[in-house]
Amino acid sequence: MLTAAVIGLGYWGPNLARNLATSPRTELRWLCDLDDGRLNGVGSRYPSSSLSTDYDEVLGDLDLDIVAIATPVSTHYELARRALLANKNVLVEKPLTAGSEQAEALIDLARERGLVLLVDHVFLYSPSVQKMGGIYRSGEIGEIRFIDSVRINLGLLQNDVNVLWDLAPHDLSIIDSLLAREPESVVAVGGSHVANGTVDVSYLHLDYGNVKAAVHVNWLSPVKIRHFMVGGSKKSILYNDLDRSESIKVYDSGVSVDPKHADRRGLLVSYRSGDVLSPRLESFEPLSQMVSHLADCIENGASPISGGEQGLRVVRILEAADRSLEKDGARISVGQ
């Protein structure tokens, strides 16, 4: 059984703790937070775990296998670096780091030491996203033409990151899991309406060459929408994360060029209306699936679904997006 520590017990840390505690493959050995009250509050649920406000004490545990980091973004790099230097496998909350150089350094360090570096791109472990990926990889929808993702609701404005860094890692990691490569360039526009200077509504456009993707994130929307649409050459997929009973729908409808169909008005295309299929989904908690995958990576050398490289690609996009925002929507190459 792998042993794990959770660092940071704010909003997300307790979820990591719960899943690490209940997984048959991991044991929750440590809980760590600078805030005593929070530490004891969460700690009371795990009487067999040790509590500490001292990160070094945790890293000093020679039997510890996994350090799961759920602290503010600005601290990810330093905490992850120290954990890797202490020969721990690391799980980091998204986004991986606050900058791409830091992400690269972590990737190098993990590689050198033969350690697993996993980013908590949690949606990749959900039944819906896994089903969507499977359908795409089966060839059923053909080539991807475009991707459109909308993730908006009244959200928790934050001091340290804008809405893109807060929400878009979800969309970007899902897009990355489908396309498995970096976009060539991005355009980002946005607005800051509430807290001076912090962008709270933003649109990010990604140019992947033959595929264009768009991500709309918004902390000020009175309605909650989570639509992820994949337009394919044969079929299309809509992933509606808020539809509990039919979150994935595959549309057998489309538009295709049909030169014979032109008329005076100049239509070049034919329309195909078709069936809609909402496939049965497995039922499991994404975090539980991720913990199990983390154990596979450590114990069996499985290839990480959301490894450091993906984390880096997401961070590089966010960096380029910030530069585009600063330049009023200018197109920015990714990863120059």
Which one, 24 or 114, has the nearer CB to its own copies?
24
Which one, 159 or 300, has the nearer CB to its own copies?
159
The SS3 assignment for 30 reads strand
CA angle at residue 186 from 157 to 319, to 5 degrees? 50
Q: How far is the CB of 233 from its own copies (least distance, A)?
A: 8
Q: How far is the CB of 137 from its own copies (least distance, A)?
A: 19
Q: How far is the CB of 331 from its own copies (least distance, A)?
A: 5
Strands 248-251 and 185-191: what pairing?
unpaired
Q: How far is the CB of 185 from its own copies (least distance, A)?
A: 8
Which one, 198 or 310, has the nearer CB to its own copies?
198
Mind giving me the DSSP string for 220-266?
EEEEEEEEEEEEESS-EEEEETT-SS--EEEE--EEEE-GGG--TT-
Which one, 99 or 191, has the nearer CB to its own copies?
191
- Amino acid code (one letter) for 107: I
Question: How many of the other CB atoms lie within 10 Å of CB of 323?
Answer: 16
Closest CA to 145 of 208, 212, 199, 92: 212
Q: How far is the CB of 298 from its own copies (least distance, A)?
A: 25
Which one, 200 or 309, has the nearer CB to its own copies?
200
Residues 220/229, Cβ–Cβ less than 8 Å: no
